[in-house]
Structure 1
Amino acid sequence: MSEKDNLLQADGKLENQSTENSAKTEEKKVTEPTENQEIPESQDEVLNEIEAVNAEDAEDEDTKGRHEIEVKDYHAMELEELVAELERLVKDEKAQAIKTHVEEIRAEFKTKFNVLLEDKKEEFLNEGGNEIDFHYSSPIHKQFKETYFVYRDKLKTHYQSIEKNHKDNLAERLRIIEEIKGLINVEENINTTYKYFKELQEQWRNAGAIPRDKYNNAWNTYHHHVEIFYDFLHLNRDLRDLDFKHNLDQKLKIIERAEELAQDDNLNRAFRELQVLHKLWKEDLGPVAKENRDEIWNRFKAATKIIHDKRQDYFKDLDKIYELNLETKHAIISKIEAISKQPVKSHSAWQNKIKEIETLRKEFFSAGKVPVKVNEATWSKFKDVVRDFNRNKNTFYKDLKKEQHNNLDKKLALIKIAEENKNSEDFETTTPLMKKIQNEWKNIGHVPRRDSDKIWKQFKGACNHYFNKFHATKDAENKESLEIYNKKKELLDTMKTLEMSGDNKQDLQLIKDHIAQWKALGAVPQNKRYIEGKYSKALDALFDGLKMDKEEAEMIKFENKLENLSNANDSRFLDNERSFIRKKIDEVKGEINQLENNLLFFKHVKDDNPLVKEVYKNIEKHKSTLALWKTKLSKIKELY
């Protein structure tokens, strides 16, 4: 337990117990004056505090553990941490020593669990549930209740066991008081009487704990009759003065220690030891000579007041700390409120906001305590802004779930189509359909996570079944075409390594022979048609190495190209080639017209002018190109 928490706990406890004990003492007044009654309890706050705690300790002899058990920051703990701490305390500590700890843990657990319960209920209602049907069972809640009941049983057993002892001890102390009262009427040797008095004092010290509401009355009565006995001892001043001197020496030591504690900065430790000193003063030591009583009591009380005042100043500073904590928590609440108002339209964005809120939530719990008067209001405001955020989040995911369920229906419809057509052998009709539903699947969007893998496997299985069958059928049909492809691949490798002899006629015939072999092999499968492009490049390289008319070589390559286009069994290829040639013809015609128009600028220039010669040269070149394109166009027309 921190020093701050110990002092706060003691302060609250003392205030309540002081009022209770004062009332009970008032009810059972002792008319005889005692040493401590020189300063009435109602007029001395610090004595009230010490008397109250010592009265509580008198009811439970085992108080050491209560002071030393750490009180942690339960407000900053999550549900699981609270239960773990409760289990540890119940297992390792005595039930009567952890009452404050347990009740604080219980209050925090109840608050946090109620928030969780509200969130779960809201999620249930958002998903379409009926409020009357809502039920949430949590293992952590069950674990907490079981541990708390174990604590209550232990505490009950403890109090039952000490109740009888308290009554017996009280009876014993009352008997001792009666014995002391009777000593002044005993007619025997004063030394014998004094010895018996000391025995009674020892019996009193060992009599054990009594109920706290009887504590002050019993002690005041006891001290009253002890003082009467000492007054009786005037018959034997030596014994009385010896005892007075012993008590004075011991009380002076107590005062000196109290004055040392008044300078101690550890207020929690100083106040605890001060309680012990007051207990020794009251319970273990008898009176001193009358002429010393006021002096030493006032000196002891002065040191006590210094400690008390320092504690009060500490609590004032503590209030300032609590105010700063309050400002921090208000700032956190404002941040959460701002985040809650920000528009969020995607799952990833919501996940980022959820992480931000969780971080702020932990900061709130770690910010420390706030003034008691605003604690409930601050906690309530915090719950409200977090609840608003959760409502917005739940609304988004509710709409998202609705959209995902619609997507699920769409994908189930596509699965139905895929399943109905997976065994179809009408490949020309079914293949475009299957490709179409595959594209639609990609564009539909997310479905509920629990269904995602299942429906994807089902859809993929139906599509794969169809396309595996389709490819198997096509592979069987294209077996011969695949063999052609392999032969053309071998021929292409040969053409790439051909060595020309240098004899133009002989080399041209060699190329034509390879062209003839290529044509004779036939068509390759559609998915292997890329080899025709490689063949055209290899053929271009061979022609480029020949010393022959370029137009002749160009027409040989073009006729070979046309044959490949015709073998493709797709008129679109020929149509595209015809459109391309017509476009080239128009472009060349345009170039010629432009050049002829340019000659008009040189009509007064002689024909042997270099510029004019260059223009005429270009016109002839373009006319030659135009003739070649027209020849190619006529070759295509022959195929239609």
Structure 2
Amino acid sequence: MEMEREKTDEQGSLIAGVADNRGNTLHSEIDLTDHEEHSEEHEHLEEEHVDYSHFTKGQLVNVIKELSKESNFKRIDHIIKEIKPLYDDYRDKERAEALSRFTATGGTAEDFEYKGDDNDIAFDANIKLIRDRKGQYIRALEEKKADNLKRKQDLIEKIRVLADGDNSSNQFDAFKEIQREWKSIGPVPGPQAKILWASYHALIDRFYDNQSIYFELKELDRRKNLESKLELCARAEKLADVSIIKDAIRDLNELHHEFKHVGPVPKEDKENVWQRFKAASDAVYARRDEYLQKLQQELHGNLDLKIKLCDDVQPFATYNSDRIKEWNQKTKEILEVQKQWEIIGGLPRAKAKEVNKKFWGAFKTFFNNKNIFFKKLDEEREKNLQAKNDLIQKALDLKESHDWEKTSNELKNLQLKWKDIGPVPEKFREKVFKEFKEACDFFFDQRRSQQGKVDQEQGDNLKIKEEICAALEQHATGQTASAELLRELQDKFNAVGFVPRKDINAIRSRYHEAVDKFVAAIQGFSEDDKSKLLLENQLSDLKNDPMAERKIFQKELAIRKKISKVENDISLWKNNLEFFGKSSNADGVRAEFNDKIKTATDHLKQLKDQLRMLKTVG
């Protein structure tokens, strides 16, 4: 009787221990659920948000191609929800432009059919691929859950049989094997999960209540469970030293899952082991909370910086100019703002979309306006190219003509029209000029070689130009030189036709030397006035040169180079002045530098005046 009573007491203690441990398990499960929610929040906050609003069509297609290889469909759905409207905007805009072109060429909207480009085909194909893969994944997942449900239901029936069977150690071993198998089976459909879990624990209670298993065997099992939970405690405590908090949280969640499925421990150890495990968990969660707090502070600091950059970039959205140089300068400025933007880190998710939209909206508007400007400029240059090609064709049609006088005049008129036409695309500039010049040169070379009277005419022209040069030289030695007389003589000189080829350089050199002497002899003119008059004479000479466009361009480069050098010299001398103190010994040096700066400033003004005069040519 004593032995039976002792055995009954032991079994009662075991049953009480199981009930207590089940409470412990429930406690662990509730705590785990709470921490999993925090873990999701942590990953949600930590995930870097990508702003796709400034991506091109090709970049969006690359994003969808990469997504089609992934298996995290929750993340995929989130990104598709963000990028698909952006892509559809591109497609709608291109469709509208295509429809506009179609109707502009005489088509009707009812006959219009838009097929899209290769990017559209690739984008739609990858969207369909992702949807198909997601459907297969969901079906497979549901099938797996249904299979898991069937397996767990079978295990419940096995536990039910064991719970109603006779006492034996073999039954206890079978029961532990069922527990291990239960733990290894994955999730089941949501509606059945709670019912299944409740049935499972109810049968465990029933098994322990109805079985008379040897106390020693049960106690041994509890000791093994205690060892397992102590090991889990130790592993949880080590997580406090893991540097990457995200990894620590993930590992801790796994430990909670294991802790939850370990069986009962001795009653006297139950509370201690749980408190130790909870303390280790709390230490990790405290680090996580501190990390999240710092992350939020950092994100809000980034928000303040990016809001300021948003304000800085807004004026660019309304910027406009008709000069290429000014557009290029503004482009450098806005790209510098973009660099500052990219250096700053992420933003709070609640504000990221709004702030990114404001910044990139202004950014895209600027470049859209710039593209419109250059598109218009390109259109004008294309029109100029067409106009010059038309002149080339006319020159080619005239080059074989033997009607020398009429054709000469027509070609000269074509040359005047050529100069009136604005610039063409840079890549065609040399080509069209060469073709036009060769056509004109061909005719004039033929005229020179085939008309004997040309030589006489050119000889007469040479004599006239020599007389004009002599007149310039004569007036330069007396007191009769004036700007009006110079203009009169230069008009006569430029009005004279061609001279013999062998004399071209000589007469031109004599003419320029005579002009230099003439200008130097003008009374009452400052050096600045004389320089302007000389430049005016040179520009007048250039207007009648067949290669005027190129020579004017070369002269402009030369003047700009001089301006740059003078500006650098002035800047250097001004910097040098700052190195001298106010002592009397430095006064002479400062005066010397001030004289240099004044002289250079006057020279710089002259050069800039020359550049302005040069731009009036043509």
> Match of 1:47?
33
Alignment check: 8 A CA contact 1:75 1:365 kept: no
Task: State the shift of 1:116 in Å.
Answer: 5.1
Counterpart AA for 2:215: R
Instruction: Return closer, same or farther for 1:362/1:476 CA change in 2, 3 Å cut-off.
Output: same
Aligned pair partner of 1:465 in 434, 439, 457: 439
Alignment equivalent of 2:130, drawn from 148, 151, 154: 151
Name the residue aligned to 2:232: 254
Q: Which residue of 1 aligns with 2:220?
A: 242
Distance between the aligned counterparts of 1:361 and 1:474, measured in 2? 63
1:102 is aligned to 2:76:
yes
What are the Cα deviations for residues 510-552 of structure 1, in whole angstroms up to 9, with x where unaligned? xxxxxxxxxxxxx8x94xx7xxxxxxxxxxxxxxxxxxxxxxx
CA displacement, residues 582-601 of structure 1 (integer Å, 9 cap, x when unaligned): 997999xxxxxxxxxxxxxx
Q: 1:172: how far off?
A: 1.7
Rounded to whole Å, the distance in 1 between the matches of 2:67 and 2:476 is: 94
Q: Please say if residues 240 and 248 of structure 2, whose CA atoms lie closer than 8 Å, have aligned partners that are also in contact.
A: yes
Say whether 1:202 aligns with 2:176. no
The match for 1:171 is: 150
When residues 344 and 353 of structure 1 are mapped into structure 2, their CA distance, relative to the original with a 3 A threshold, is: same
Alignment correspondent of 2:584: none
1:163 maps to amino acid: E
* AA matched with 2:36: I
For 1:617-632, list aligned pairs within 5 A: none
Question: Which amino acid in structure 2 is aligned with residue 380 of structure 1?
Answer: K
Shift in Å, 1:174: 2.2
Q: 2:265 aligns with which of 273, 282, 288?
A: 288
Amino acid at match of 2:182: W
For 1:196 and 1:206, locate their aligned partners in 2 and report how far apart those are by CA, in whole Å.
15
Q: Is 1:276 matched up with 2:254?
A: yes
1:460 CA drift (Å) = 5.6
Decide which moves more: 318-327 or 357-366.
357-366
Change beyond 3 A, Cα 1:151–1:118: closer
Correspondence for 1:211 = 189
Task: Say if 2:297 is the partner of 1:316.
Answer: no
- Number of the residue aligned with 2:24: 35
SS in 2 for 1:205: helix
Paired position in structure 2 for 1:368? 345
For 1:163-562, what aligned pairs fall within 5 Å after superposition? 163-186=142-165, 188-211=166-189, 214-215=192-193, 218-219=196-197, 221-233=199-211, 235-283=213-261, 285-354=262-331, 356-357=333-334, 360-361=337-338, 364=341, 367-397=344-374, 399-400=376-377, 403-404=380-381, 407=384, 411=388, 414-415=391-392, 418=395, 421-447=398-424, 453=428, 461=435, 464-477=438-451, 526=458
CA contact (8 A) 1:82 1:109 kept: yes
- Post-superposition shift, 1:247? 0.8
In the superposition, relative to structure 1, how do residues 99 and 584 fare at CA in structure 2: closer, same or farther (>3 Å)? closer
Aligned residues: 449
What stretches of structure 1 of length at least 5 have no aligned partner? Answer: 1-31, 55-66, 482-522, 530-566, 588-640
Q: 1:311 to 1:83 in 2, by over 3 A?
A: farther
SS at match of 1:368: coil
Distance 2:153 2:90 in 1: 55
- Identity rate, percent: 26
Indicate the SS of the match to 1:345.
coil
Deviations along 1:461-492, whole A, 9 cap, x unmatched?
465334313312312445997xxxxxxxxxxx
Residues 85 and 117 (structure 1), Cα distance of their counterparts in 2 relative to 1, 3 Å cut: closer
Shift of 1:328: 3.4
Distance, in Å, in 2 between the alignment partners of 1:208 and 1:586 is: 114
Question: Do the aligned residues in 2 keep the contact of 1:340 with 1:385 (CA within 8 Å)?
Answer: yes
Quick one: structure 1 residues 572 and 291, their matched pair in 2 at CA, closer, same or farther if it must change by over 3 Å?
closer
- Aligned partners of 1:234 and 1:240 also within 8 Å: no
- How much is the aligned-residue C-alpha RMSD, in angstroms? 4.5
Q: Is the 8 A contact 2:168 2:212 kept in 1?
A: no
Determine the C-alpha separation between the residues in 2 that align with 1:107 and 1:379.
17
User: 1:21-170 alignment to 2 at 5 Å?
Assistant: 34-38=23-27, 41=30, 47-50=33-36, 74-75=50-51, 78=55, 80=58, 83-84=61-62, 87-88=65-66, 90-91=68-69, 95=71, 98-107=72-81, 109-110=83-84, 113=87, 137-170=116-149
Work out whether residues 233 and 276 of structure 2, in 8 Å CA contact, stay in contact via their aligned partners in 1.
yes
Q: Given residue 73 of structure 2, which amino acid in structure 1 is its aligned partner?
A: K
Q: Distance in 1 between matches of 2:145 and 2:258?
A: 21
TM-score scaled to structure 1, two decimals? 0.58
Q: Distance in 1 between matches of 2:454 and 2:406?
A: 24
Letter in 1 for 2:137: H
User: Displacement of 1:82 after TM fit?
Assistant: 5.8
CA 1:119/1:392 → structure 2, altered by over 3 Å: closer, same or farther? farther
> Is the Cα contact below 8 Å between 1:124 and 1:134 reproduced in 2?
no
> Are the aligned partners of 2:163 and 2:203 in contact in 1 as well (CA < 8 Å)?
no
CA distance in structure 2 between the aligned counterparts of 1:578 and 1:366, rounded to whole angstroms: 72
The answer to whether the 8 Å contact 1:126/1:395 transfers is: no
2:398–2:443 contact (8 Å) kept in structure 1: no
Distance, in Å, in 2 between the alignment partners of 1:109 and 1:234 is 64
Tell whether the 8 Å contact from 1:411 to 1:441 is kept in structure 2 after alignment: yes
Q: CA deviation at 1:251?
A: 0.8
Asked whether the equivalents of residues 28 and 256 of structure 2 are also in contact (C-alpha less than 8 Å), the reply is: no
Distance 1:192 1:441, change over 3 A: same
Tell me the distance in 1 between the aligned counterparts of 2:472 and 2:180: 127
Tell me the TM-score normalised to structure 2 length: 0.60
Partners of 2:240 and 2:478 in 1: CA distance? 114
**Contact 1:227–1:287, Cα closer than 8 Å, also in 2:** no
How far the C-alpha of 1:331 sits from its partner, in A, is 3.4
Shift of 1:250: 0.8
Residue 435 of structure 1 and its aligned partner are, at CA, apart by: 3.3
**1:595-610 correspondence runs (5 A):** none
Structure showing greater Rg: 1
1:261 CA displacement? 1.5
Q: 1:169 touches 1:208 (CA, 8 Å); kept in 2?
A: yes
What amino acid sits opposite 1:185 in the alignment?
D
